[in-house]
Amino acid sequence: NAGVTQTPKFQVLKTGQSMTLQCAQDMNHNSMYWYRQDPGMGLRLIYYSASEGTTDKGEVPNGYNVSRLNKREFSLRLESAAPSQTSVYFCASSLRGIGTSTRELFFGEGSRLTVL
């Protein structure tokens, strides 16, 4: 039971480089999310996707783009990485809909990104 899988687990980038964080879930969830975690800041929502084909900005979207490739996959792209994007990134998913309003999020293991 894989749940939510994100890759890579660790990445070091130089300022200005680009990269994509991949996320996939096998729980048939319709909603997916990207959060970033910084010390003393908790988890902050970057982007989310309520369903296949839709994406929306969260609290801290600047410098990021996302793609909901299909129901399973939701990727996060940094086009030109900056040191301020050094963080731990979490992908999460949930099942939304009538009768399923518990809103529990299931998380991947996180990706630690360092931008030099």
Partner 1 sequence: AQTVTQSQPEMSVQEAETVTLSCTYDTSENNYYLFWYKQPPSRQMILVIRQEAYKQQNATENRFSVNFQKAAKSFSLKISDSQLGDTAMYFCALPGGGADGLTFGKGTHLIIQP
Q: Cβ 74 to partner 1, closest distance in Å?
A: 11
Q: Cβ 115 to partner 1, closest distance in Å?
A: 19
64 near partner 1 (CB under 8 A): no
Question: DSSP E strands: which ranges in the chain?
Answer: 4-7, 10-13, 19-25, 31-38, 42-49, 56-57, 65-68, 74-78, 87-94, 106-107, 111-115
CB atoms within 10 A of CB 87: 21
Interface region with partner 1, contact rule CB under 8 A, candidates 13-21, 68-76, 78-86, 106-114: 106-114
* Distance of alpha carbon 28 from alpha carbon 86, whole angstroms: 31
109 near partner 1 (CB under 8 A): yes
> Which residues are CB-contacts of 86 (< 8 A; sequence separation ≥ 6)?
113, 114, 115
Question: Toward partner 1, which CB reaches closer, 49 or 85?
Answer: 49
Q: Cβ 48 to partner 1, closest distance in Å?
A: 5
Q: Give the interface with partner 1 as residue ranges (CB under 8 A).
A: 31, 33, 35, 40-45, 48-50, 56, 58-59, 88, 90, 92, 94, 96, 101-105, 107, 109-110, 112
